[in-house]
Amino acid sequence: MKYIIEKNNTKTSAYAYVTEELKTLQENITFIKSDIVIDEDLKLQLATEELNRIFKENNCYKNFTIDSEGLHFDVSGHYISWSKEELDYRFQNAFDSILDQF
């Protein structure tokens, strides 16, 4: 059986939201990773949070902003877009990190 975790409509971070949803699910059933389906918008939120975390951990978050579309340089106005593969990879890293708690 598949369990869908839908878009995060709260102000909670996507990471915290998915973690809470899985905790609630775990209270009721036993699940495996392949049982969980994450909404595409929520995947994008998780990937973006993961990219923000990586840049902040490496102290590389000044003079640009990160969003789901890409990296925006504040001073020059240049923009680097994320590839679908990059976003998928970052989502998978974040999701695996969440699942490691269970």
Say what the pTM is: 0.83
Give the pLDDT score at 70.
92
The mean pLDDT of the chain is: 89
- Rounded to the nearest 5°, which phi and psi values hold at 79? -145, 135
pLDDT tens digits along 9-35: 777 899 999 999 999 888 888 877 888
pLDDT tens by residue, 29-78: 887 788 899 999 999 999 999 999 998 888 777 788 888 899 998 888 89
